[in-house]
């Protein structure tokens, strides 16, 4: 028995274990995947918002996929302030031009990228948003400037259906 030789029995053990493992994984996966978003949740993918009543310097908050979305009609000063920032001063460098295609309108998820709280409007050291939970400061472009949040507030997929309506999602 001292020499090591692959025997018929070894082959059977390996084959049985391999088939057993694949079978177990096939049964476990549905148990795990059932917790992912279901079809009815995924179906609520987009929402349309009427923004005609929004005046410059104000923010509308709407619910999309269970999360608040900030629609900010920015003033001239806010736009200038956001566009004057140097890229090297940013924690998560993104140009304001890329975040707000139409400079007057900033649309983004009102969710702090730290731990998911809703930041407060017109607050903080950068005249943008401030998250009360753990103290993250965002600028007038919704970019993280100070605090524990790692990224800028996310800009979702959106489009102007007409001059007064934004479709999010």
Partner 1 sequence: MSDHNYTPKSKVGQWFNDRLPLLTLANHLTDYPTPKNLNYWWTFGGILTFCLITQIVTGLTLAMHYIAHADMAFESVEHIMRDVNYGWLIRYIHANGASMFFLAVYIHIFRSLFYGSYKSPREIIWILGIIIYLLMMAAAFMGYVLPWGQMSFWGATVITNLFSAIPLVGEGIVTWLWGGYSVDNPTLTRFFTLHYLIPFLILGLVVLHIWALHVPGNNNPVGIDIKKPSKDTVPFHPYIVIKDGFALLMFMIVFAFFVFYAPNILGHADNYIEANPMVTPAHIVPEWYLLPFYAILRSVPDKLLGVVAMLSAILILAVLPWLDTSKIRSAVFRPLYKQFYWILVADVLILGYVGAMPAEGLYLLIARVATAYYFLHFLVILPVLGFKEKTLPVPLSITEPVLGGSPNLAAARNKESKIE
158, 168 contact by CB (below 8 A): yes
Strand partners, 91: none
Active site residues: 134
Chain positions 21 to 40 lying near partner 1, rule: CB under 8 A, are 32, 35-38
Determine how β-strand 120-121 pairs with β-strand 136-138.
Answer: unpaired
Compute the least distance from the CB of residue 87 to partner 1, in Å.
21
Among 114, 137, 143, 145, binds partner 1 (CB under 8 A): 114
- Of the pair 82, 129, the CB lying nearest partner 1 is at 129
Contacting partner 1 (CB under 8 A), which of 51, 54, 60, 133?
133
Minimum distance of partner 1 from residue 136's CB (angstroms): 10
Residue from 47, 51, 94, 148 binding partner 1 (CB under 8 A): 148
Q: What are phi and psi of 160, to 5 degrees?
A: -85, 115
Q: Which stretch binds partner 1 (CB under 8 A): 4-12, 93-101, 116-124, 157-165?
A: 116-124
DSSP characters over 11-80: HHHHHHHHHHHHHHHHHHHHHHHTTS--HHHHH---EEEE-TTPPTTEEEEEEETTEEEEEEE--HHHHH
Pairwise CA distance, residues 165 & 155, whole Å: 17
Q: Which residues bind partner 1 (CB under 8 A)?
A: 32, 35-38, 41, 61, 63, 65-68, 114-118, 131-135, 147-150
């Amino acid at each position: 028995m001292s020499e090591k030789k692959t025997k018929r029995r070894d082959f059977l053990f390996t084959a049985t274990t391999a088939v057993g493992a694949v079978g177990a994984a096939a049964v476990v996966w549905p148990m795990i995947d059932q917790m992912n978003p279901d079809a009815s949740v995924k179906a609520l993918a987009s929402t349309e918002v009427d923004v005609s009543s929004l005046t410059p310097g104000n923010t509308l908050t709407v619910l999309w996929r269970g999360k608040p979305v900030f629609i900010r009609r920015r003033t001239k000063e806010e736009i200038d302030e956001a566009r004057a920032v140097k890229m090297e001063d940013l924690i998560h460098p993104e140009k304001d031009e890329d975040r707000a295609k139409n400079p007057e309108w900033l649309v983004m998820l009102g969710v702090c990228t730290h731990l998911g709280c809703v930041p407060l409007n017109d607050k903080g050291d950068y005249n943008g948003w401030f998250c009360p939970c753990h103290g993250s400061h965002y600028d007038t472009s919704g970019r993280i400037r100070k605090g524990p949040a790692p990224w800028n507030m996310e800009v979702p997929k959106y489009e102007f259906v007409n001059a007064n309506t934004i479709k999010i999602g």
